[in-house]
């Protein structure tokens, strides 16, 4: 006589097998993530800790850094007017860059998202193309374009506006930064506009909203995640930008990136450079988190 296993026991056994499968799955996932995890720890977390350690160290009179006498001197230095001015200047410049990127990118992303698949893919590839060229090379290209006697200057001169002197001004820096970070604004905006449910726009039009009103009340609020993500992606690197302000601004006005480099290389004050880097990063990280949290709740 065969004894059939009773239903409860069978169920328990099945549940056990399923659970074991899940555990195995999780273990496999962890294994797959291990290389990238190791990479991040080695090349991101460890250097970060080193920066943090150095920010508490002491600068010796000879300009070297003594890893002893731990103190907060470097952080105290950040409160000095000279640093404050650099920070304010950088924030203003980064804000201008972000707003300009937003104003340029939104209509473009909107246009892209409302085209046929072929056209939008073509346009998006066009957005990515600049990345195929070295960033430094592109900055030098702008230097050429903006230089006195360059194409832009010649053009304004030929139409009777006189030569333009853009290179080595704040304008040149903003142009360079907008150019460099525009794709970071376009892509998240495109993604959020593409996800937009157009029936909601139709509904708003049906409920007496004019075109502009429909944009203000429905399209913009619903694509806000893209606006926020894009703004962060542009604002954060603009704050710490180094190459573009140096090459196009001629280093006339010190911005955060240049200031940090100066602290490390010229002033040989590693603790100050380290503390400033660390504070910059921490502020950015915290504000990003707050921003996303707030955004997540509203949308």
- Which residues have CB under 8 Å from 268's CB, separation 6+? 59, 63, 64
Name the residue nearer to another protein (CB basis): 21 or 221. 221
Structure tokens at 111: 């246009």
Name the residue nearer to another protein (CB basis): 250 or 295. 295
CB of 210 to another protein, least distance (A): 6
Name the residue nearer to another protein (CB basis): 159 or 199. 199
Name the residue nearer to another protein (CB basis): 11 or 202. 202
Count of beta carbons in the 10 Å neighbourhood of residue 182? 21
Residue listed under structure tokens 């409920």: 207
Residues lying near another protein in the complex (CB under 8 A): 197, 199-200, 202-210, 213, 217-218, 221-222, 298-299
β-bridge pairing 58-59 and 65-66: antiparallel
Evaluate whether 240 touches 257 at the Cβ level (below 8 Å).
yes
Q: How many CA atoms lie within 13 A of 109 on its CB side?
A: 27
DSSP 8-state class, residue 253: S
Terminal Cα-to-Cα distance of the chain (whole angstroms): 64
Bridge partners, residue 66, by sequence = 58
Name the residue nearer to another protein (CB basis): 29 or 211. 211
CB of 188 to another protein, least distance (A): 18
CB of 223 to another protein, least distance (A): 11
Calpha distance 242→93 (Å, rounded): 13
Name the residue nearer to another protein (CB basis): 191 or 243. 191
CB of 232 to another protein, least distance (A): 20
CB of 205 to another protein, least distance (A): 4
Structure tokens at 95: 């804000």
CB of 109 to another protein, least distance (A): 19
Calpha distance 137→129 (Å, rounded): 14
CB of 212 to another protein, least distance (A): 11
Name the residue nearer to another protein (CB basis): 132 or 208. 208
Name the residue nearer to another protein (CB basis): 126 or 207. 207
Which residue blocks in the chain are alpha helix, DSSP H? Answer: 7-40, 46-55, 73-77, 81-113, 117-128, 135-146, 151-158, 170-195, 198-206, 211-214, 220-222, 224-239, 243-249, 256-265, 270-298
CB of 179 to another protein, least distance (A): 33
Structure tokens at 204: 């708003």
């Amino acid at each position: 006589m065969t004894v059939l296993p009773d239903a409860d026991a069978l169920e328990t056994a099945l549940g056990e097998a399923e659970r074991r499968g899940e555990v195995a799955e999780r273990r496999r996932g962890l294994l797959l993530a291990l290389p990238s995890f190791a990479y991040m720890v080695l090349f991101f977390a460890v250097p970060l800790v080193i920066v943090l350690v150095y920010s508490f160290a002491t600068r010796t009179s000879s300009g070297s850094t003594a890893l002893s006498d731990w103190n907060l001197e470097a952080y105290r230095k950040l409160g000095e007017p000279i640093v404050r001015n650099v920070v304010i200047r950088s924030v203003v410049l980064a804000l201008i860059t972000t707003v300009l990127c937003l104003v340029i990118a939104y209509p473009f992303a909107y246009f892209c998202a409302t085209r046929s698949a072929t056209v939008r893919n073509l346009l998006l590839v066009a957005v990515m193309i600049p990345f195929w060229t070295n960033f430094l090379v592109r900055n030098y290209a702008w230097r050429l374009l903006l230089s006195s006697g360059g194409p832009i200057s010649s053009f304004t001169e030929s139409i009777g506006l006189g030569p333009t002197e853009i290179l080595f001004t704040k304008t040149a820096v903003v142009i360079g930064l907008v150019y460099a970070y525009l794709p970071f604004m376009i892509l998240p905006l495109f993604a959020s506009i593409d996800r937009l449910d157009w029936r909601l726009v139709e509904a708003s039009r049906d409920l007496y909203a004019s075109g502009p009103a429909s944009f203000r009340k429905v399209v913009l609020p619903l694509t806000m995640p893209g606006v926020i993500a894009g703004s962060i992606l542009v604002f954060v690197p603009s704050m710490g930008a180094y190459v573009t302000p140096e090459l196009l601004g001629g280093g006339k006005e010190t911005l955060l990136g240049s200031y940090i480099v100066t602290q490390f290389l010229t002033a040989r004050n590693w603790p100050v450079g380290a503390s400033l880097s660390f504070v910059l990063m921490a502020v950015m990280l915290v504000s990003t988190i707050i921003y996303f949290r707030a955004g997540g709740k509203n949308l």
